[in-house]
């Protein structure tokens, strides 16, 4: 394991956010995200995990999505539960499973 304060690129390896224990578990080069780039890396990770769930439908991918959401809410200093309750109150949740379709005359 190599930890660097500056990015070092392994051939063919794209920089991406990994879970906290991965630098201990897996060989490779790692660096800590800077505060200015943390939000972007977390946002990209959220999309990555959501796409993995879309393809696999594996509940473990939902756990990954939740972990990323928790990290984002901590970084952004927001209460996701409060925001969700407000949004659900204003616009409803997704319990009824409405699908918007094309309107035909």
**Over the stretch 18-59, which tens digit does the pLDDT of each residue have?**
999 999 999 999 999 999 999 999 999 999 999 999 999 999
Query: Residue 30 phi/psi, 5° resolution?
Result: -135, 155
Give me the helix-helix angle, 59-76 and 35-56, nearest 10°. Answer: 160
- Count of structural domains, the chain: 2
Shared domain for 20 and 63, answered yes or no, is no
Same domain as 40, residue 79? yes
User: 17 pLDDT exceeds 70?
Assistant: yes
Q: How far is 85 from 26, CA to CA, in rounded Å? A: 39
Phi and psi (nearest 5°) for 29? -105, 135
CA torsion, ordered 43, 92, 81, 16, to nearest 10 deg: -10
Residues present in the chain in total: 105
Q: Are 37 and 83 found together in one domain?
A: yes
Judgement on whether residues 56 and 20 belong to the same structural domain of the protein = no
Q: How far apart are CA 95 and CA 38, in angstroms?
A: 33
Single pTM value for the model: 0.83
Shared-domain flag, residues 28 and 60: no
Say whether both 38 and 14 belong to one domain.
Answer: no
Assign 31 to helix, strand or coil: coil
Report the percent of the chain where pLDDT is more than 70: 89
In a domain, 96, yes or no: no
Range(s) of the domain holding residue 28: 1-32
- Shared domain for 37 and 70, answered yes or no, is yes
């Amino acid at each position: 394991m190599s930890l660097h304060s500056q990015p070092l690129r392994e051939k063919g390896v794209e920089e991406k956010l990994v879970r906290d224990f991965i630098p201990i578990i897996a060989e490779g080069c790692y660096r800590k995200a800077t505060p200015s780039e943390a939000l972007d890396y977390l946002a990209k990770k959220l999309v990555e995990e959501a796409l993995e769930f879309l393809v696999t439908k594996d509940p473990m991918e939902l756990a990954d999505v939740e972990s990323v959401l928790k990290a984002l809410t901590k970084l952004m200093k927001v209460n996701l539960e409060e925001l969700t309750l407000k949004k659900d109150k204003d616009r409803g949740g997704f319990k009824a499973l409405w699908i918007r379709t094309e309107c035909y005359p």
